[in-house]
Copies of this chain bind each other. A is one copy, B any other.
């Protein structure tokens, strides 16, 4: 892990850009150290586009004593595209424009390589982050592509609790993985999310094996999570990580 730039923000939060091999990332730490860590899973937009929303969430978390970190997803931003991703995206667009159902084949081709590639990278990032003196346990996950969060919750025992955002396509295979999740979960669902399959989100919530899981559904589109819903998610993480 190599820090490429750092700046102290006006609220005292230290923001560090880093690279982990070829993967760019950002770490935000509060003045109080060592701090428990929240892994901020980005949406698959590229970190540059997602930065304003990620930084806002990180600074709110820092105000509650949490460090936050994110890394660029495989195939996003300036990272090389994943094999088959362009074709899967083109197939998705064609199906949606034609008003046809998005098939399991398209969803698998779009999401599974992303999950398979991303999860080991997040685990490597966690190794590096936990070796820093200003990061302490425990670790939470809060993020974007729900299948990545689901797989991480299954395979990564250092993650104690997760906030998941329903709203991306879910491969059928993830429903089986969801049954093996046991950590506390807080799932946010934008009820009227245009691009979201609400029933798939409800089915996935039902499938999670966790004995503590909560679904918070709110009105509005994909990026319209109300402020009070963000605060409730923050309270959930505070309850489990402090």
Oligomer: number of copies: 2
* Closest chain B residue, CB of each to CB of A218: B214
* Closest chain B residue, CB of each to CB of A229: B214
Interface 1/0 per residue, A211-231 and B, CB below 8 Å: 111111111000000101100
Alpha-carbon distance A239/B203, docked complex (angstroms): 31
* Closest chain B residue, CB of each to CB of A232: B232
Let me know if A205 is at the binding interface, CB within 8 A.
yes
A217 & B205 in contact (Cβ 8 Å cutoff): yes
Let me know if A175 is at the binding interface, CB within 8 A.
no
Chain A positions 143-163 with a Cβ under 8 Å from a chain B Cβ: none
CB proximity of A20 to chain B, nearest CB, Å: 35
Let me know if A2 is at the binding interface, CB within 8 A.
no
Inside 8 A of A202's CB, which chain B residues have their CB?
A: 202
Alpha-carbon distance A211/B192, docked complex (angstroms): 11
B216 & A211 in contact (Cβ 8 Å cutoff): no
Alpha-carbon distance A16/B223, docked complex (angstroms): 47
Interface residues of A (CB under 8 A from B): 191, 202, 205-206, 210-219, 226, 228-229, 232, 235-236, 239
